[in-house]
Chains A and B, each alone.
Chain A
């Protein structure tokens, strides 16, 4: 619990409606998008001015009180999960778009501005903000910076780190730093890259300047069906090796296709073992040429059916199924657990095969939805939280999937972040030297470890315990796989 004296200090710098203390007010903040983890915060601060943010940080710094930052709370790794004894600081009231410069193609916004709101504000100039996480209608740009959020179009347009020009942040020691600029580079170290994706561990973001891109002249979507998921996986690599850089390249397996079709009636071929959605964009001519090439490559890769959307309505329909995949799969079981591993594309067939075996072993079904072009998997593990022990089983299955990704040279998280969820798997992906370096970086910005404690980077002690649990019986997980 936070000491009453600290609450009193917070009350002295914040108006009453900016500080929540009653249990019924705190309850909505007990979790973020990863609802399997819940913890009612001690206190929630909803500041309205930068001076209030500075005061909160100063009080926390002086009193050694931890802080957890939060945007819209749509994150799916528990990054905004409240920590006992900490202030939960929500930046959602900083929701103003400060300026849009159509000539220089940039937008300067407060951190609580929603991702989609930026593109909406830029639309009159035929410009948009490229990263489009599936939560873009609700998630904030401050949260996107903290998580280095991705989306469907990362392969061509990059992640948040590739689309942010500058951030203004506040450190726990009260230093206000402008990192990056409206120019394309800045002197000194690339702290913009370091802070993007730092999961609220290093500083709080006060302002973000993002790059806007011209809207492509034309977009086209090709849908391909495969009678074998391995062939679908191989086709992904073939498209890219064929010299096409699609704006989006998505894949769904049979279970996901069936669920999506039943839910969204997208017109997907139901007998397919896998479908691919390939979106190409650019000028009229580029799109025409790319569509022809993509069709040829997909057919050569063994697609049983290739359809090009006839018009915008059909494009939307193709996408509707993919975009509804999560809620659609959600109807198959009381709960699902969404994973976020990445692998080299070439490992797709192997990993899928191995995942099917794991599904049998854990006796839990899994539906697969991927940003296949990026090698980013989103396996959805179906379970029933009301059945005793089933969540633990799902969690263990999820951990096995992530470790499978690492064993194939991939990563435990492509775009969702580590948060609290994948903290143990960090011990699998990184050695103690790298984890030590991460703790060193953390100490540069937050020497007392007050920002989002216990998240993103595990202590070596925790890893030792996790490792001990793992090698029990002398068996490494996936010992058959080469490790390098």
Chain B
């Protein structure tokens, strides 16, 4: 399969659009080209719970990986969003998306130990490995995470996995936006077993994970109301299945320093990641949104819907773009892989 994919890349004269489950077709700039279907390259290559390491081919469905980990009391620490049943490991890593646990456990790239790719010349490259610590050579594995397939087709990845917490509990507090932001930051600075946070419409939801006794004590300290269906609440939010995410208005994702102030932008909002991620349903002007995010030390992504002519992703400073273009030229000299998915003609 890898040989065939490599051959296809070498031979193509038309830019290729890399695709597995297609669950994130909406993400990034919409591009044209021949579909390179990588969904057939699937299967878990190795998994040993005692190693906390799992290696899988990139077309493997995320659900299959999570089910296996679950049977051994382990999980993907970055709690990736699925956006449907078709999502694969490769797509998840190529988009570099992480879920509610991210500020507390780490991001998709933090858990990547090794990556095999096919570069733009069809060459099969193996970076990193299956060990937790490895500083031999440049960290090209993590460079691939979030590169949207513009540097290479991800074919296989090794990830560090985590033991599942013994128990979890979701608490809810009635708080206004300013107070909620303050609390999220304060709590993150204390040795509390917080594993997720979300503020919406005057309610702050907080997930605690760990030993039952630790959770009980944290609950006694923090107060709040016990949310009876915590797991569904976080999963539905993670996968954008709640009412907030429906409707035609463009969906923006703002990534900010966690202590950034409440937004002055128009529209409906959800605050997650302890204040570091803010989802916005708004038809406000792209330039205005980006200016506000940048002024507060962050960036804004037009996540879904809207007019992507303004760019799905926050523009890069010119000097930084220079090195991006050089890296793209290095890994994909003919510009055949997901060209334009991240930035125009890139």
Contact = CB atoms under 8 A, between A and B. Distances in A.
Interface of A: 101-105, 125-127, 147-148, 150, 154-155, 158-159, 161-162, 171, 175-179, 181-191, 193-194, 196-198, 201-202, 214-217, 237-238, 240-241, 243-245, 282-286, 288-290, 342-346, 371, 373-376, 409-418, 422, 426, 429-431, 433-434, 437-438, 440-445, 456-457
Contacts of A374: 131-133
13 contacts: A103-B186, A104-B258, A105-B188, A147-B135, A175-B322, A181-B299, A184-B273, A191-B323, A193-B139, A193-B143, A429-B137, A430-B137, A437-B331
A207 B93 CA distance: 29
A346 to B, nearest CB: 6
Nearest to A425: B136
Interface in B120-174: 123-127, 129-140, 142-143, 145-147, 151, 162-164, 166
A276 to B, nearest CB: 15
B125 A185 contact: no
Interface magnitude class on chain B: 35 or more
Contacts, number: 273
A197 B301 contact: no
Contacts of A189: 143, 146-147, 151, 324, 327
B273 to A, nearest CB: 6
A284 B217 contact: yes
B189 A187 contact: no
A214 B191 contact: yes
A413 B142 contact: no
B165 to A, nearest CB: 9
B189 A441 contact: no
Given A175-B322, A185-B146, A433-B123, A283 B214 contact: yes
Contacts of B313: 187-188
Interface string B180-203: 000001101111110000000000
Given A184-B102, A290-B211, A371-B133, 7 more contacts: A102-B189, A177-B320, A182-B257, A187-B316, A188-B321, A214-B191, A411-B133
Interface stretch (B32-40, B81-89, B106-114, B281-289): B106-114
B199 to A, nearest CB: 16
B217 A101 contact: no
Nearest to A198: B138
A214 B104 CA distance: 11
A214 B323 contact: no
A198 B323 CA distance: 15
Interface of B: 48-53, 73, 96, 102-103, 106-107, 109-110, 119, 123-127, 129-140, 142-143, 145-147, 151, 162-164, 166, 185-186, 188-193, 210-211, 213-214, 216-218, 255-259, 273, 276-277, 297-299, 301, 313-317, 319-324, 326-327, 329-331, 342-343
A178 B327 CA distance: 17
A179 B316 CA distance: 11
Contact of A375 (B119, B132, B320, B330): B132
B177 to A, nearest CB: 16
A236 to B, nearest CB: 8
A104 B185 contact: yes
Contacts of A238: 50
Contacts of B146: 185, 189-190
A284 B147 CA distance: 41
Contacts of A430: 126, 136-137
Nearest to A373: B132
Contacts of A158: 106, 110
